[in-house]
Amino acid sequence: MTDLLAPVAASSLAEQARAALGKRNLVFVGLMGAGKSVIGKMVAQALSIPFVDTDGEIEKVSRMTIAELFASYGEPEFRALEARVIDRLLKGGPRVISTGGGAFINDNTRRLIKQGGISVWLKADLDVLWERVNKRDHRPLLKTENPKATLENLMNHRYPIYAEADLTVYSGNVRKETMVTNVLSAVVELAEKGQGK
């Protein structure tokens, strides 16, 4: 009997989260490998609202890969373009927006996100992140002699800033579906606390 009831409970959580969100965007932030793209897309499906990944959108508008953008124009230009793209995307809510790892660290972009949506930090430990990112080598910031140490330095610098997000959801070695449930529950809880902005 419990199994038969489970899908009803799951769909009502998504409905509650969707109602709590209203016209606002749900914006995923966090370090490379935290799961912003993959979990963001699944959360958007659960909420039946559009999903957009800012790295993908930047690559689309520039017709270049992120690695090419960094190589040709440098990080400051990339951050300026990222801020413009995010500003535009935030204006079309409700959406789930998964940002690149450095977006929320940029003061201008963080201010835009705080104004334009509910932010969710997917927080993960170094070993979990490393396990996920070391399988591919397309991330320009990790093209260093010791990429794991670079990732750790980024964590030390960025975690206090990601902590400014409205919600923090721990992204450990749990199933992706569990992550989706945890995110939806956090959105509902935020609204229940009356802090849903």
Ligand X SMILES: O=C(O)C1=C[C@@H](O)[C@@H](O)[C@H](O)C1
Ligand Y SMILES: Nc1ncnc2c1ncn2[C@@H]1O[C@H](COP(=O)(O)OP(=O)(O)OP(=O)(O)O)[C@@H](O)[C@H]1O
Annotated binding site for substrate: 55, 79, 101, 158
- Binding map of ligand Y across residues 172-191, x = CB under 6 A, - = no contact: --x-x--x------------
Q: Which positions from 57 through 96 interact with ligand Y, judged by CB under 6 A?
A: none
CA–CA gap between residue 93 and residue 108 (Å, rounded):
19
CA–CA gap between residue 6 and residue 11 (Å, rounded):
9
Q: Is 38 in the site for ligand Y (CB under 6 A)?
A: yes
Q: 126 or 141, CB closer to ligand X?
A: 141
**What Å distances lie between residue 149 and 11, 23, 157, 162, CA to CA?**
41, 40, 12, 19
CB of 153 to ligand Y, least distance (A): 16
C-alpha closest to that of 123 among 75, 177, 79, 161: 161
The contacts of residue 43 (CB under 8 Å, 6+ apart) are 26, 28, 51, 96, 180, 183, 184
CB of 22 to ligand Y, least distance (A): 25
Q: Which positions from 36 through 95 interact with ligand X, judged by CB under 6 A?
A: 55, 66
The footprint of ligand X (CB under 6 A) covers 32, 55, 66, 100-102, 139-141
The footprint of ligand Y (CB under 6 A) covers 30, 32-39, 55, 98, 100-101, 132, 139, 174, 176, 179
